[in-house]
Amino acid sequence: MDFQKLKTFVADAQEGGFSAAASSLSVSKSLCSKHINDLEEVLGCGLFH
């Protein structure tokens, strides 16, 4: 698990979605989505519903 993926998770939770999180982190929306998917796979559960 890497720190950038955790940072993406926190930004997504705080900002309310991938688009806003991506903007605040200066990365693409698809990268945010990939980071969340990677975390969900490692943890074995969904993080957002």
Say what the pTM is: 0.87
Residue 38 lies inside a defined structural domain of this protein: yes
Report the C-alpha gap between 12 and 24 in whole angstroms. Answer: 9
Residue 9 lies inside a defined structural domain of this protein: yes
Q: Residue 28 is encoded by which pair of tokens?
A: 């693409």
Residue 23 lies inside a defined structural domain of this protein: yes
The pLDDT, as a whole number, for residue 27 is 97
The angle formed by the CA atoms of residues 37, 42 and 46, to the nearest 5 degrees, is: 50
Residue 1 has pLDDT above 90, yes or no: no
Residue 47 lies inside a defined structural domain of this protein: no
The pLDDT, as a whole number, for residue 49 is 77
pLDDT tens figures, 7-44: 999 999 999 999 999 999 999 999 999 999 999 999 99
Residue at token pair 């903007």: 23
Q: Tell me which residue range forms the domain holding 24.
A: 3-42
Residue 49 lies inside a defined structural domain of this protein: no
The pLDDT, as a whole number, for residue 48 is 85
